[in-house]
């Protein structure tokens, strides 16, 4: 018998991938490419999480860091909960095949370690050419298949990766 909570997580991760690929393709059709950044991924992600019944917080302070000064708090993009299902999600727009994701993975790992039973996911978004060439680091495993919007010259896509803690 399958765990309904893991089914809910798999479903919402798939919907986020599908939604983001379509949303950014729509924005490209509207000539909005100059506005592209990781931050435009937040609003549709939040809408999908809440539409699927997840209690969602954004910009959540990450546990396990000492504050070294004003404004130095490390934050997670999203934390989502539903029926005992609990995960943190970091968004990353890949603009090259060597993105800096060390901080993202560290935050996810610290969150999962501090919150027993919580999972950590990295949502990698970008052009299909970048996503297909990028090799994720050890300690992460792709969750499901990538989703791509292949409507024209630039093909956008999204892939999700689960982090594993010790």
- pLDDT tens sequence across 55-100: 999 999 988 877 776 767 889 999 999 998 899 999 999 998 888 9
> How many structural domains comprise the chain?
1
The answer to whether residue 157 scores a pLDDT higher than 80 is: yes
Q: Residue 93 and residue 43: Cα distance in Å, rounded? A: 14
Range of the domain at 130: 4-163
What is the average pLDDT across 94-111? 91
The answer to whether residue 103 scores a pLDDT higher than 80 is: yes
Mean pLDDT of all residues belonging to the chain: 89
Q: Residue 136 and residue 151: Cα distance in Å, rounded? A: 26
Q: Residue 108 and residue 101: Cα distance in Å, rounded? A: 11
pLDDT of residue 1: 33
CATH number of domain containing 60 = 3.40.1350
Q: Residue 132 and residue 46: Cα distance in Å, rounded? A: 26
Global pTM?
0.89
Do residues 93 and 44 lie in contact, with contact meaning Cβ atoms separated by under 8 Å?
no
């Amino acid at each position: 018998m399958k765990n309904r909570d893991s089914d809910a997580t798999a479903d919402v991760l798939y919907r986020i991938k599908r939604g983001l690929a379509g949303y950014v393709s729509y924005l490209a059709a509207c000539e909005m490419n100059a506005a592209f950044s990781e931050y435009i991924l937040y609003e549709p992600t939040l809408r999908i999480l809440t539409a699927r019944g997840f209690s969602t917080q954004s910009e959540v302070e990450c546990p396990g860091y000492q504050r070294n000064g004003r404004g130095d708090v490390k934050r997670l993009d999203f934390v989502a909960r539903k029926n005992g299902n609990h995960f943190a999600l970091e968004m990353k727009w890949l603009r090259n095949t060597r993105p800096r994701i060390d901080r993202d993975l560290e935050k996810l790992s610290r969150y999962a370690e501090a919150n027993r039973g919580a999972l950590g996911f990295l949502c990698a978004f970008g052009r299909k050419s970048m996503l297909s060439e990028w090799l994720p680091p050890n300690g992460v495993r792709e969750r499901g298949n990538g989703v791509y919007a292949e409507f024209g010259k630039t093909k956008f896509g999204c892939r999700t990766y689960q982090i594993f803690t010790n």
